Amino acid sequence: MDTSKQDSRRFFERIRTNRLTATFALLATLSVGILAGSIFTRSVSGKEAVDSSDARPLTIPSPINLSTDFSRIAKEDGPAVVNINTESIPKASTNRRSRRGQQGPLQIVPPGGDQGDQGDQGNMQDFFNRFFGGQGGGGGEDGPDGGNGGVRQALGSGFIVDSRGYIITNNHVVDKADKIYVKLSSDPENDSDPGRLAHVVGVDADTDIAVIKIDAPEPLPTVKLGNSDGAQVGDWVLAIGSPFGLSKTVSAGIVSAKDRTIDDPGPDGRVSQFQRFIQTDAAINPGNSGGPLVDMAGEVIGMNTAIYTQSEGSEGIGFAMPSNTIANVYNQLIGPDHKVIRGSIGISFQGAESSAVSRMYGFANGGVLVNTVTPNGPAAKGGVKPGDVIVSIDGKPIKDGDALVADIASRKVGTTVQIGLLRNGAKQTVTVGIADRAKLFADVGNESGDNSTPSDSDAGESKLGITVADIPSELASKLGIQGGVMVNTVRPGSFGDEINLTKGTVIVEINKKPVGNKADYNSIVSGLKSGQDVVFVVRSTGPDAIAGNSYLGGTLP
């Protein structure tokens, strides 16, 4: 038994001994492996000196001229493109009610602008017309100060067309500016220097074109104006300007459409008849407005004016006023009167009739159905009557109202035209004179002549910034008055806006003169002069209307 126990102990001792031996052997093997790995790793470390005498240094090749058109055009036209910055001092307004609304990220409004009471359509066109005049939230018609703080600043672009310092830009870039400064591309980059003081030569709000001038001791570089009629959809174009204040910026795109119109009414309720754009997908952003759109010949075929956007930035749909329109307006603005004179025959018509109307009146293949004829106007004197269909001018067929307006507006005042008519299906021709559109409207107190829609414009629109209509008889009875006119629209920033005239207000007296109807109103307003005190006696019509008369007034700018 003792021998058996001893044999068992020896057996277990051998097992323990062999296990320890195996363990030590394994540890020794791992140690050797780790040591060898360290040695090999050190041998390939980047910290060790390596012989690179056979490495070849990189060389920069000579420049290769690939497509040189874009760079060539940028070099040729860039020096004549200028940066425009303006300063506007907010006008003090006494007892003015706040009319600012909430601005969400997708609302289409001027950057930092006043939404006013114009509704979505007014806001859309207000933004569309003046978007590029602002920089971020601090520009446009109303900066973050709400109109009662410091100086408001805005940025835009322009291009020199005369070496003596004449520059073309957008009207909305310089509109209402107290000071206008221009920086040339050759001027040093200095934020403390606003640039050279510029003066307005003339503006045309209908086409949003302005001409300004700076002193030029030495001849300045100029652009070459091209013929926009030659531009074709698909042509390459470059937009040059100062987006977001970044001067000398060039973006490329194509002409994506031509003869584009914008149907949204402006803040005054009107649709512009003289804005027909070149559409492009070249990137246009705030600050580009007023800069040139250039074709591959290096010629200016348009002026960047507006965009459609939901982000207040480029989304690939931009609009440029054609160079042919620019040239015609420029030539009139630099004339002795510094204004654009457009012809009119004194009619109004409906912009878009249904096919049933055109078939019924016999002009399915083109023509313009006359809605109204201005009393004592050229058309009335020539024998044109409501219900007539104008089908030709001097033998040239007229397709629609846009073609009619374009033709008549371009004609010289005092000349005559042969108007081809359809009256009760029978053709006839009458001779009609061409009158000054602005004077004709002022004389009749109604700017409906040659309009694509019946208009409520009146003699006070340019002076007061408002449009009015005769007060409905039932409302007059409710208010206990004999007559008056009701305010239809108020242009933001206008004199009427500043003295707190609002839509729906009834005007019963101006400067102690009773206003019984629109004719009385036009007669009184036509005689108002700049610098004159103007006081309105008004009646409110809203749910919170104050009983009796209220008095609003100010000094006419």
- For 323-346, the DSSP string reads HHHHHHHHHHHTSTT-S---EE-S
98 has a pLDDT exceeding 50: no
CATH number of the structural domain 343-444 = 2.30.42.10
**Least confidently predicted of 200-214, 286-300, 304-318, 417-431:** 304-318
Specify the pLDDT at position 63: 74
300 has a pLDDT exceeding 90: yes
Catalytic residue among 126, 142, 175, 208: 208
Specify the pLDDT at position 42: 52
pTM of the model: 0.60
Interacting residues of 162 by C-beta distance below 8 A, sequence separation 6+: 222
Whether 208 is a known active-site residue: answer: yes
Q: Quickly name the fold that domain 224-333 has.
A: Thrombin, subunit H (2.40.10)
What is the C-alpha end-to-end distance of the chain, expressed in Å?
A: 133
Q: Which residue has the tokens 């540890």?
A: 27
Higher per-residue pLDDT: 263 or 175: 175
Question: Can you tell me the mean pLDDT for 173-181?
Answer: 90
Q: Quickly name the fold that domain 461-555 has.
A: Pdz3 Domain (2.30.42)
| DSSP letter, residue 422 | E
Catalytic residue among 88, 228, 247, 289: 289
Q: Please answer whether residues 48 and 41 qualify as being in contact, where contact means their C-beta atoms are separated by less than 8 angstroms.
A: no
Q: Where are the domains of the chain?
A: 71-214, 224-333, 343-444, 461-555
Q: How confident is the model at residue 20 (pLDDT cuts 50, 70, 90)?
A: low
**Least confidently predicted of 158-167, 258-267, 451-460:** 451-460
Q: To the nearest 10°, the Cα dihedral for 375, 377, 380, 381?
A: 120
414 has a pLDDT exceeding 80: yes
Whether 172 is a known active-site residue: answer: yes
Specify the pLDDT at position 30: 59
Instruction: Supply 19's token pair.
Output: 């296990």
Q: What is the mean pLDDT of the chain?
A: 77
Q: What is the pLDDT of residues 427-486, one digit of tens each?
A: 999 999 999 988 886 655 433 334 433 333 456 788 899 999 888 887 888 888 888 999
Q: 71-214, which class in CATH?
A: mainly beta
50 has a pLDDT exceeding 90: no
**Least confidently predicted of 237-246, 262-271, 277-286, 408-417:** 262-271
Strand 299-307 to 224-225 pairing? parallel
388 has a pLDDT exceeding 70: yes
**461-555 shares the fold of 224-333:** no
137 has a pLDDT exceeding 80: no
221 has a pLDDT exceeding 60: yes
Q: Please answer whether residues 155 and 192 qualify as being in contact, where contact means their C-beta atoms are separated by less than 8 angstroms.
A: no
Catalytic residue among 172, 272, 388, 458: 172
* d(C-alpha 387, C-alpha 12), whole Å: 126
12 has a pLDDT exceeding 60: no
